[in-house]
Amino acid sequence: MNSELPEERGAPVGRRIFLGTLGLGALGVFAAPGLQRGMEAFLGAAAEQDPTGLTGLLPNGGGFRYYSITSSVPRKGAGTYRLTVDGLVDRPATYTLADLRALPQTRMVRDVQCVTGWRVPGTPFEGVRLSRLLDAAGTHPSAGAVRFTCFDGAYTESLTLEQACRADILVALRMRDEDLGHSHGGPVRLYVAPMYFYKSAKWLSGITVTEDVEPGYWEARGYDIDAWVGRSNGRDDEPTT
């Protein structure tokens, strides 16, 4: 599944019907302020009908857009969430949400920039530095990259080990000073502050240390692997860090 670009997918008729449905639903849900839970339910329902990736057109609150490459994503919370760290490491580990919350938290406020053009200024993210989890695991001398997997069962991302050790990359538990909601990739997403937002994998479930970079979902479909804001993907946006 998901082997083609969104623009190339789906029958045109189905897409028209889908967008029509979406427009009506959006009016009903987004007219009411403060209905975060209702909005998440709506986004989930919309994504359910959307094998095309067009949910990227949906507002996700506060200037964000909702993206998911899968039609549905299971909900995970304190009881069911697990993050595994494995691959070329001395000490593989599995973290619960409580484990992650017990580690030192770093809060950063930077702009968020999507490669499709939208930008959200001054967004607080908070969580555990990725470098801390990698240090705890102890990477082998042959390690050169990190691969990220998600409990949506489909999205992947990657960084070089050097990039992954930067201080401005978080395993984020909070966004805008609230626990990460499901629609933003909660309970835990990656946050790669200096790069386009597609690097910030939502619903993070696995961190695997590898020898070489394995291109992530969008990179296998043409986006740059080194996704520095303003210096990649043919764009000249203001850097976010």
Ligand X SMILES: Nc1nc2c(c(=O)[nH]1)N[C@H]1C(S)=C(S)[C@@H](COP(=O)(O)O)O[C@H]1N2
Cβ-based nearer residue to ligand X, 88 or 237: 237
Q: Count Cβ atoms within 10 A of the Cβ of residue 33 and give its class: 0-12 exposed, 13-18 middle, 19 or more buried.
A: exposed
Applying the rule CB under 6 A, the residues between 78 and 137 that interact with ligand X are 114
What secondary structure, in 3-state letters, does 99-164 show?
HHHHCCCEEEEEEEECCCCCEEEEEEEEEEEHHHHHHHHCECCCCCEEEEEECCCCCEEEEEHHHH
Distances (CA, A) of 199 to 30, 57, 91, 164, 196: 27, 18, 25, 11, 6
Q: Which does 228 bind (CB under 5 to 8 A by kind): Mo ion, ligand X, none?
A: none
State which residue has the least CB distance to Mo ion: 114
Give whichever of 51 and 56 is closer to Mo ion, judged by the CB atom.
56
40 part of the interface to ligand X, by CB under 6 A: no
Residue 7 φ then ψ, to 5° = -60, -25
- Report, in Å, the least distance between residue 3 CB and ligand X: 15
The residue within the footprint of Mo ion, chosen from 198, 200, 203, 240 (CB under 5 A), is: 198
CB under 5 to 8 A by kind: which of Mo ion, ligand X, none does 69 bind?
A: ligand X
Please give the residue ranges that form the binding site for ligand X (CB under 6 A).
60, 64-69, 114, 150, 152, 155, 184-185, 197-198, 200-203
Please give the residue ranges that form the binding site for Mo ion (CB under 5 A).
114, 197-198
